[in-house]
Amino acid sequence: MSRIAILTPYAEPIPGGISTVVLGLQNLLRGHGHETYVLAGAGEGDSPKHSNLGSDLRYVRRALSALRGLSVDIVHCHAHWYTLVAGIWYRRMRPSTRLVFSFHTSDVSKWGSIFSWLLSKADVLTFVSASQLSQLRGNLRLGGDLRILYPGVIPRVVNIDARREWVARCGLSGSFPVIAFVGPLDYPSKVRGVVDLVGIVKQLRAIYPTAKLVVVGDGKLRHRISDAAVGAEDAILVTGFVRDPSAALATSDIYCHLSYKESFGIAVLEAMSMGSCVVALRSSGVSEIVDDSALIIVNSNPQLVADAIRTLAADHVARQELGLKARANALRSHTWEARWPQLASIYGLE
Q: When comparing pLDDT for 281 and 56, which is higher?
A: 56
pLDDT at 246 over 90: yes
What is the percentage of the chain residues whose pLDDT exceeds 70?
A: 99
Check residue 105 and give its pLDDT.
86
Q: When comparing pLDDT for 119 and 15, which is higher?
A: 119
DSSP-derived letter for residue 277 is -
Which positions ≥6 away from 346 have C-beta within 8 Å?
Answer: 100, 124, 126, 147, 149
Q: What is the mean pLDDT of residues 76-86?
A: 96
pLDDT at 111 over 80: no
Least Cα distance to 335 among 2, 31, 43 occurs for 31
- Cα 240 to Cα 91, 128, 156, 248, 332: the distances in Å are 40, 26, 21, 12, 31
Q: Do domains 3-152+335-346 and 160-333 have the same CATH topology?
A: yes
Using pLDDT thresholds of 50, 70 and 90, give the confidence band for residue 110: low
Check residue 207 and give its pLDDT.
96
Q: What is the mean pLDDT of residues 171-181?
A: 96
C-beta separation of 316 from 4 below 8 A? no
Q: Label residue 38 left, alpha or beta by phi (over 0 means left) and psi (-120 to 50 means alpha).
A: beta
pTM, two decimal places: 0.92
Where do the domains of the chain lie? 3-152+335-346, 160-333
Nearest-angstrom CA–CA distance, 78 and 127 = 11
Q: Which fold has domain 3-152+335-346?
A: Rossmann fold (3.40.50)
- Cα 3 to Cα 34, 48, 67, 212, 261: the distances in Å are 6, 19, 11, 48, 35
pLDDT at 251 over 70: yes
Using pLDDT thresholds of 50, 70 and 90, give the confidence band for residue 270: very high
Tally the C-alpha atoms within 13 A of residue 214's C-alpha that lie toward its C-beta: 29
Check residue 263 and give its pLDDT.
80
Q: What is the mean pLDDT of residues 298-312?
A: 90
Q: What pairs with residue 216 in β-bridges?
A: 182
Q: What is the mean pLDDT of residues 82-96?
A: 97
Check residue 281 and give its pLDDT.
84
Using pLDDT thresholds of 50, 70 and 90, give the confidence band for residue 286: confident
Least Cα distance to 37 among 93, 90, 81 occurs for 90
Using pLDDT thresholds of 50, 70 and 90, give the confidence band for residue 287: confident
Check residue 34 and give its pLDDT.
97
Task: Give Dmax (Cα) for the chain.
Answer: 66
CATH number at 160-333: 3.40.50.2000
pLDDT at 109 over 60: no
Of 196-200, 258-262, 341-345, minimum mean pLDDT range: 258-262
